[in-house]
A and B are shown apart, each in its own frame.
Chain A
Amino acid sequence: KQEVTQIPAALSVPEGENLVLNCSFTDSAIYNLQWFRQDPGKGLTSLLLIQSSQREQTSGRLNASLDKSSGRSTLYIAASQPGDSATYLCAVNRDAESHLFFGTGTRLTVIP
């Protein structure tokens, strides 16, 4: 069974810093990987989706990379802002028909 791990569980950085969030998965035979953001007490918002044939995706200040062979993905956030404070989760699926397996997330706090 696929297991998705995100370390660290929590991270605090001063405003303006660039930062990297990590995600690892045990089964490299994935179909795609998604990064989500979750604000406290709210649902999840999809930020980026990387197909297994891709190595990275970018949206604004966010850049997600994927290394399938090593079972790793990173989410890079440039010039962090207090509004980036949230929990970030990654999730993978095995094929087009299967559901997502989620990590437990990294809680990010950006200090003004």
Chain B
Amino acid sequence: DVKVTQSSRYLVKRTGEKVFLECVQDMDHENMFWYRQDPGLGLRLIYFSYDVKMKEKGDIPEGYSVSREKKERFSLILESASTNQTSMYLCASTTGQGGNEKLFFGSGTQLSVL
């Protein structure tokens, strides 16, 4: 089975801190995604990557950056955390070959910024 692992299940940070959310997948997937999920707003795409060292902005990239130095790892960085970044963060991956492959998600990181 495909496994997408997010390093932290719960995280509490203070305003202004730099925050790293890590995601690792074990199925050699080319495509990786970071979403945030908020009540009433659903999932919104922050950033995605189709290859190593490649990144594309999603719908809400402001306040975030990403890093993909290795194919299996996709990191989300909050340069200076703010309270409005309190949310559930979900990482996902897919092979991306032909666009008809299922998307696999990690268990999520619930981030609270105080």
Contact A41 B108 (CB under 8 A): yes
Contacts of A93 in B (CB 8 A): 99
Separation in Å of the B93 CB from the closest CB of chain A? 11
Contacts of B88 in A (CB 8 A): 41
Contact A34 B102 (CB under 8 A): yes
Determine if B100 is an interface residue (Cβ-Cβ < 8 Å).
yes
Number of interface residues of A (CB under 8 A): 26
Given that A43-B108, A44-B105, A46-B104 are known contacts, is A97 also in contact with B43, CB under 8 Å in the complex?
A: no
Identify which of B40, B43, B107, B110 contacts A89 (C-beta below 8 A). B43
Contacts of B41 in A (CB 8 A): 104
Identify which of B42, B45, B107 contacts A104 (C-beta below 8 A). B42
Separation in Å of the A102 CB from the closest CB of chain B? 4
Total inter-chain residue pairs, C-beta < 8 Å: 58
Closest to A44 in B: B105
Contacts of A100 in B (CB 8 A): 45, 103
Closest to A9 in B: B40
Contact B40 A104 (CB under 8 A): yes
Distance between Cα atoms of A95 and B30 in the complex (Å): 17
Determine if B61 is an interface residue (Cβ-Cβ < 8 Å).
no
A residues 76-100 in Cβ contact with B at 8 Å: 89, 91, 93, 95-100
Give B contacts to A, CB under 8 Å.
4, 33, 35, 40-43, 45, 48, 58, 88, 90, 92, 98-108, 110
